A = this chain, B = another copy of it.
Amino acid sequence: MIFDRLPIPIVQAPLGGGPSTPALAAAVSGAGGLGFLAAGYRSPRVMAEEIATVRGLTGRPFGVNLFAPVPGPAGREAVERYAARLEPEARRMGVNLGEPRFDRDAFEEKIDRLLRDPVPLVSFTFGCPSAAIISSLREVGSETWATVTDVEEAELAEAAGASALVVQGLEAGGHRGFFVDGKGASDYSVLALVQLAGARVRIPLVAAGGISTGGAVAAVLAAGAAAAQLGTAFMRCPEAGTSEVHRAALASSRPTSLTRAFSGRSARGVVNRFMRDYDLDAPVAYPEVHHLTAPLRARGREEGDEDVVNLWAGQTHELARPLPAADLVRELARDARGALKVAGERLSRSHFR
């Protein structure tokens, strides 16, 4: 398995929607961790080009993340009501709202390409693909990871044949990975999930959500994970494609919150005006609302107006460090080893062994 080929059990989260770059993935893999390309929101052609670029930069293994198709489309009326609500915002910014279309993010075409030109690892977010897809990827030599947010999803993904699970706690920045968004959705933390899923499934777990320090990397390994996946922690690296307004928000100590305002799916970001103004009105309608707000968010990033930008960030974003990705991987690993030593000293005081 890929874990046995990783000198450092640190995985870079895929970081769709801007921050993901081939340079970032290659730097993380080159340093001994596991880099990822986000294929979500990318065309199959761009996905293939980025894969080629990473291969040119490193011979080490890396992963490609796909969005699994979500149930849908959502109710038209709710989306139209939300669009009407956002109209004044669009006029103010001088853009037209996007077409709130439902799509499958070219899932099947991406799978076809990955079957013809395999990568070491394909991971999935927003659902687990069929056992048939997982098995055909296995046949071409690709491992498959599924992102899960509760034990039920973990058991479904294991049954479908996934090689490992990314257990995503509610601390994580960006979209929550639940298979179905909505009321009563999972609120498990990463530490709770590693314990619960660890007791119920047999495949390895990759722990994701709010991990920014070497101590937290050591923590999830001690809890039972095979590796730690860090997203926000890599977003201030020079190799990341993170926008300037977004970098500034990450460096602050401003609070984060979950919201559907930007995309119609629950996601965590630094609280800003758009989130405050529209959170309560946003329907469960992904990816329709994602497309609807895309021009607004793009204009905000261009103009440095953070008020309308989705500032995805995990709960510990203020601890993200603006270091080259390879240095960051090595420092996290070193700090993790130091943290284990301190923990071991605390536990070895026992006179009662």
Contact = CB atoms under 8 A, between A and B. Distances in A.
A57 B102 CA distance: 66
Given A191-B219, A195-B216, A333 B316 contact: no
15 contacts: A6-B349, A8-B347, A8-B349, A32-B350, A151-B253, A187-B257, A190-B191, A192-B315, A195-B319, A198-B215, A218-B219, A219-B219, A222-B340, A222-B343, A224-B342
B337 A348 contact: yes
A269 interface: no
Contacts of A342: 221-222, 224
- 5 closest A-B pairs by beta carbon, nearest first, are A189-B189, A221-B343, A218-B222, A219-B219, A192-B315
Copies of this subunit:
2
Contact of A352 (B31, B169, B220, B348): B31
A116 interface: no
A195 to B, nearest CB: 5
A30 to B, nearest CB: 10
Contacts of A215: 194-195, 198, 222-224
Contacts of A333: 347, 350, 352-353
A208 B187 CA distance: 16
A246 B351 CA distance: 34
Contacts of A9: 346-347, 349
A199 interface: yes
Contacts of A330: 352
A347 B343 contact: no
Interface string A243-262: 00000000001000110000
Given A194-B215, A215-B224, A340-B343, 19 more contacts: A6-B349, A31-B352, A171-B188, A189-B189, A189-B191, A192-B210, A192-B315, A195-B213, A195-B216, A196-B316, A199-B319, A215-B222, A218-B347, A219-B220, A221-B343, A222-B342, A222-B343, A224-B339, A337-B348
